[in-house]
Chains A and B, each alone.
Chain A
Amino acid sequence: EVQLVESGGGLVQPGRSLKLSCAASGFTFSDYNMAWVRQAPKKGLEWVATIIYDGSRTYYRDSVKGRFTISRDNAKSTLYLQMDSLRSEDTATYYCATQAHYYSPFAYWGQGTLVTVSS
């Protein structure tokens, strides 16, 4: 059974940093592209970043480029999102999700971790 468990969320002040983790199990992590998708309170879904299966390429939405870094450790089956210079508009539940191939949907999702950026 595929399991994705996010952690690392919490309350953080604007301008500070936070690092999210997503522990994966139940599938061969190193074979899958992985993504972060977020959802602001009472709002819709928003893709944040994707990393290719071997970590060789990353993609970001413009609003987080230069502030967020997606990475992975295939030996630990873990996905990360380093978030720097956080803004109030980054407040959201952050989900990690699998993407089997380049054009694939987000097939499996974690339960999400809430990040609140507020002073």
Chain B
Amino acid sequence: DIMLTQSPATLSVTPGESISLSCRASQSISTNLHWYQQKPNESPRVLIKYASQTISGIPSRFSGSGSGTDFTLNINRVEPEDFSVYYCQQSNSWPRTFGGGTKLELK
């Protein structure tokens, strides 16, 4: 199974800061890596697909980069509604796996 390691587990920031979240795969997954946001008591929603492709309706402050084993989700100038948990997920092989998540919290 491909393991995805997200870091940090928790990130404390103030609104307006720009941040980067990391996701590292245990083996190469090309760009078959997707990012999700999950707010408390809500279903996840996809933010970025295939490492860097944008999703219709997602604010432009979210962007992604990376390929192979190292991936990054960037949030340019965090907004109050961005405080939630972020997951990465690989679709390169079965079983599909998710990272453990990064919780973005208010400092």
Contact-residue size bin, chain B (C-beta under 8 Å from the other chain):
20 to 34
Question: Is A28 located at the chain interface by the 8 A CB criterion?
Answer: no
Verify if B45 is at the interface (C-beta below 8 Å from A). yes
Q: Which residue of A lies closest to B38 (CB)?
A: A45
List of B residues within 8 angstroms of A104 by Cβ: 49, 91
In the complex, are the beta carbons of B43 and A103 less than 8 A apart?
Answer: no
- Chain A min CB distance to B22 (Å): 16
**Does B71 make an interface contact (CB < 8 A)?**
no
User: A residues touching B (Cβ–Cβ < 8 Å)?
Assistant: 35, 44-47, 50, 59-62, 95, 102-107, 109-112
Instruction: List 29 A–B pairs whose Cβ atoms lie within 8 Å, in order of A's numbering.
Output: A44-B100, A44-B101, A45-B38, A45-B87, A45-B98, A45-B101, A46-B98, A47-B89, A47-B95, A47-B97, A59-B95, A95-B44, A103-B32, A103-B91, A104-B91, A105-B34, A105-B36, A105-B49, A105-B89, A105-B91, A106-B34, A106-B46, A106-B89, A107-B46, A107-B49, A109-B44, A109-B45, A110-B43, A111-B43
